[in-house]
Amino acid sequence: MAEQNSQTQLEGDEPPLEVYEEVTKARIKGPVYWLTLLLGGFGIAVAINQTFSFNAFNFVMIDNQYYYLLIAIFLSLAFLIFPGRKKDSANVPFYDWILFAVTMVTALYLSYYGGDMVLKGWDLVAPPLPTAAAAVMCFLAMEGVRRAGGTILFSICLVFFTFPLWTEHAPGFLWGAGKDPVELVRAYAMGFESIVGMPMRVAGNILIGFLVFGSALVVTGGGEFFMNFAAALLGKTRGGPAKVAILSSGFFGSLSGSVISNVVTTGQLTIPTMKRAGYTPAYAASVEACASTGGTLMPPVMGAVAFLMAEFLNIPYRDIVIAAAVPSFLFYLALLLQVDCYAAVKGLKGQPASEIPRMWETLKDGWFYLFSLLLLVYLLVWARMELYAPYYATIVLLASAAIFRKKGRRFNLAKFLELIIESSSIIASIIAILAGIGVIVGALAFTGVGGAFSRELLSLAGGSLPFILIMGAVTSFFLGMGVTVSACYIFLAIVMGPALIEFGLDPIASHLFILYWGMMSYITPPVALAAVAAAVIARSGAMETAFLAMRLGSIKFILPFIIVMTPSLIMRGETDAILISIAACVMAVILMSAGFEGYLYGVGNLKWPSRIALLIAAAGFIYTDIYSYMAAAVLVAVTYAVNLLLFRGREATG
């Protein structure tokens, strides 16, 4: 597996956060292991103390003191876990230890003086020593994002970091209020809109709990359970291995929130199984790439970006979960139907019975994974305890794994230490990324350019909704190339989100629109990081896999437009309108799958004229109009009738 991960890293110029999570675990050994264990465990304890207000040892702090303490713990660890150079991927050179110490001292200093920072307005005017500490913190934040996020994301953050220095000389809507270098580092490091701004608030207040829950699932064997559960459920069916890949990657991706690590984790098992069942290497890789990408948009966890969305929109996280439920269901339904139709056309069978675990045995050994997941959903959606939900679900999961798993596989002290290491390394990567991304938020806030961009976009659109949606899709897609989803979303939420909302579109629909399009680059050439990672495992052509993934994931290109044009699809509106929209979209997905794969249930294989007719009918069901529905239904009926008559004609001739 390590070899595969290394190959994945070498495919691109610089891999994003998710690949580093896999590759750099080689550095967590010796002193780094013990520091990660002790500091990471202390950091998680601090987060729990702050969340529940336990007031342990009078340790509840004001917000910025808490965020700087998290930076002191986890950003310092990031310099030990993530290498500055590829050749240091297995060892920690002396200068990384220096960066670790400097980060610890600087962040602890800023945390200690957090109260003075607020009361005395140090983000505007500060003494020389805090100003020097602020300058050092800015450097550390940028170096942290370079290591954890890669060169592309670092370059984008660097442009925004320097933007306030020259914005007063920029043309048009890029003009804004500028700052000199001293004012700039104070604002970035000691203000509430940048390094310890909204992204860090999300990480410190809510995200850490969900990261610990996801790590607990991995450490206790949840990935294996969901793989076995999917195999027991669908392994025997036509094209079963591909369906198992889709379900297991959807489960795992929803909880991990990481596209590439999802591919390299579940793909190691699913891709070879699909190939043995008769799927071509490229098709197997494209199935895994699409399923892993969709997992990050699937409730209940959805990765860091869903929590950022809730913060931006100032709404409960449960509203994001509810809104994303139907689009996610439609996406996975489209994948399942397409691989089923493909299997029907190619005559592919399910997995051999000897390879399929028994459902009862699977549930008996791992029912508590499903129970913990359902408990998490209940606490989020119905009990509305989003701050506490992941911790309660984690406690239930760990206790169950310690009591109910088979002897020898139960949760024990060794696995507890592994949980601390796994959680700490992931939190370190998130803190490093979000501290750097904070400068994007800060730069747009300081200069006022974010609002100016939105106004300029609205003026340019001239009242044309299709134009502004296409502009939003193109901008989101290109910005999503090679950067983390969180960075892409944060920028677009500032500059594009307000324009879409001001146009009269639903706020959640608008933000889901830019999020979906930002994710599209994972399966779309020329970058297609998920497709490339899957292609390495499958030993298929990267671009061939990417183009196949585009076709399999074609519903994702359409869903964002449906969401903004039909808010009932995200549970907004009257119950009857919601049910009609869902039914129409399900029909559209069925017809799209038949059209793309050339197989229609009840008929069999299709020729191109019939496939095109079904794709046109699918478009008719997407367009929310009763006459459009009627025309689409007539077209489907005619297609069925023609193909059934042709089939009978062939039988009679035969």
- Averaged pLDDT of the chain: 86
Radius of gyration of the chain (CA): 25
Q: Would you call 604 helix, strand, or coil by DSSP?
A: strand
pLDDT, tens digit, 9 for 90 and up, residues 261-288: 788 878 888 999 899 888 999 999 999 9
pLDDT for res 648? 58
Q: CB of 554 within 8 A of CB of 595? A: no
140 phi and psi angles, rounded to 5 deg: -65, -40
Q: 219 near 419, Cβ under 8 Å?
A: yes
Q: Using CA atoms, how far apart are residues 157 and 327, in angstroms rounded to an integer?
A: 31
If we measure between CA atoms, which residue out of 609, 603, 606, 634 comes closest to residue 620? 634
| DSSP code at position 236 | T
* Number of alpha helices (DSSP H) and beta strands (DSSP E) in the chain: 32, 2
Separation CA 210–CA 206 (nearest Å): 7
Q: Look at the block and give the residue holding tokens 């989101």.
A: 476
pLDDT tens digits, residue range 166-212? 888 888 778 888 889 999 999 999 998 899 988 899 889 888 998 89
Two structure tokens written together for 531: 């497709």
Residue 6 clears pLDDT 90, i.e. is over it: no
Two structure tokens written together for 257: 């929130």
d(CA 395, CA 398): 5
Contact between 600 and 614 under an 8 Å Cβ cutoff? The reply is yes
- Indicate if the pLDDT at residue 483 is higher than 80: no
Q: How far is CA 304 from CA 206, 485, 524, 546, 617, in A?
A: 10, 9, 22, 25, 37
Residue 649: pLDDT band (50, 70, 90) is: low
